């Protein structure tokens, strides 16, 4: 029985990482590539030869490249402004939620997030992001019923992170998201280094040079980790620290992986923390922009794993590192 419970706990913590990699597929176009998360479907856009629609239920991402569609050399913001003007006659009760500048597939661009009423679906949330690359237009649009949109945020970001124009280029920086349903919010690091979506009911507070997000005894911290050169160095140093503080400290999983498109290293552990609580601990080192290494740590009481894993997974998949 003890062995069975340990296996269940192990599987629960592994679930934090599985959705960002398991069963993903790559959609390849002549002009770009993009990852399709597990459970999503990809089909070529009928009105855009170099475009794809990636859907899950009623939520979608439409993205791609319009070759030669910016022959006049217009700025992305001007193209988006014209699009917004065109919404007046076909988007009832239009309300802008957020707007600004953000790269799309590594190209400088602009985005608009908004809500309006659809005759069939009722209230819907949508976003439009447009960038220009030489004479081409690069686009990344999302949409879906308002009641389902927030739950798809992790999928949107996974797709956004992996959108690459053929020939490479820098990783895109995700456009800021509007507050999530259920009281959630987007946390923006004051230093401009990362963002993370915080589920409703969780609170954020400064922690060292980063942030700690907590609910009850469960927590996740995110911040830079100085004095190391690789993600594995982060894990090795923190493993040594926790081994000296926790009783019955045991490593259950380790190895390299990709976190939201960035090189990362993983350490998963079980032990009894200084307060006497048996916990599942996850330590992740991530290669951030500018050769900065980041540490992501999470701790959940083993008795609470079933109820907390969904929130931990959502936060982990939503982390965006900003800059190049």
Beta-carbon count within 10 A of 87 CB = 16
Q: Residue 174's closest CA among 253, 239, 262?
A: 262
Q: How many CA atoms lie within 13 A of 260 on its CB side?
A: 32
The pTM is what?
0.50
pLDDT in tens, the chain (324 residues): 444 444 444 444 444 444 444 456 889 999 999 999 889 999 999 888 899 999 999 999 999 999 989 888 899 999 999 988 888 667 788 888 878 887 788 788 888 888 888 877 788 889 999 999 888 999 999 999 888 887 787 788 788 888 888 854 433 333 333 333 334 588 888 888 888 988 888 999 988 788 999 999 999 999 999 999 999 999 999 999 999 999 999 999 888 988 888 899 999 999 999 999 999 999 999 999 888 999 999 999 999 877 887 888 889 888 988 865
Q: Residue 51's closest CA among 152, 171, 163?
A: 163
Say yes or no: do domains 25-165 and 181-321 share a fold.
yes
**What was the pLDDT predicted at 167?**
56
User: Is-contact 105 80, C-beta < 8 A?
Assistant: no
3 state SS of 72: coil
**What was the pLDDT predicted at 221?**
96
Domain spans, the chain: 25-165, 181-321
The fourth-level CATH superfamily of domain 25-165 is Mog1/PsbP, alpha/beta/alpha sandwich (3.40.1000.10)
3 state SS of 286: strand
Report domain 181-321's class: alpha beta
């Amino acid at each position: 029985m003890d062995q069975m419970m340990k296996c269940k706990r192990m599987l629960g913590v592994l679930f934090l990482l599985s959705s960002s990699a398991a069963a993903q597929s790559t959609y390849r176009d002549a002009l770009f590539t993009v990852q399709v998360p597990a459970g999503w479907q990809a089909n070529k856009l009928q009105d855009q030869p170099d475009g794809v629609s990636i859907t899950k239920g009623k939520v979608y991402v439409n993205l791609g490249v319009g070759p030669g569609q910016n022959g006049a050399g217009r700025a992305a913001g001007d193209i988006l402004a014209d699009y917004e003007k065109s919404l007046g006659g076909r988007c009832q009760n239009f309300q802008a939620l957020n707007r600004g500048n953000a790269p799309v597939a590594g190209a400088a661009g602009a985005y608009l997030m908004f809500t309006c009423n659809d005759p069939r679906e009722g209230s819907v949330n949508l976003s439009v992001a447009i960038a220009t690359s030489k004479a081409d237009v690069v686009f990344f649009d999302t949409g879906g019923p308002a009641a389902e949109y927030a739950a798809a945020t992790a999928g949107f970001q996974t797709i956004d992170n992996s959108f690459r124009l053929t020939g490479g280029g820098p990783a895109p920086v995700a456009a800021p998201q509007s507050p999530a349903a259920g009281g959630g919010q987007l946390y923006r690091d004051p230093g401009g280094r990362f963002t993370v979506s915080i589920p409703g009911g969780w609170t954020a507070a400064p922690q060292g040079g980063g942030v700690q997000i907590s609910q009850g005894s469960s927590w996740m911290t995110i911040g830079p980790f100085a004095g190391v050169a690789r993600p594995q160095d982060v894990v090795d140093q923190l493993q040594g620290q926790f081994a000296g503080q926790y009783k019955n400290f045991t490593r259950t999983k380790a190895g390299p992986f990709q976190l939201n498109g960035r090189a990362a290293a993983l350490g998963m552990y079980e032990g009894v923390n200084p307060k006497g609580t048996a916990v599942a601990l996850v330590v992740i080192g991530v290669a951030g922009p500018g050769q900065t290494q980041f540490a992501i740590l999470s701790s959940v009481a083993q008795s609470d794993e079933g109820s907390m894993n969904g929130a931990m997974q959502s936060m982990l998949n939503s982390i965006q590192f900003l800059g190049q």
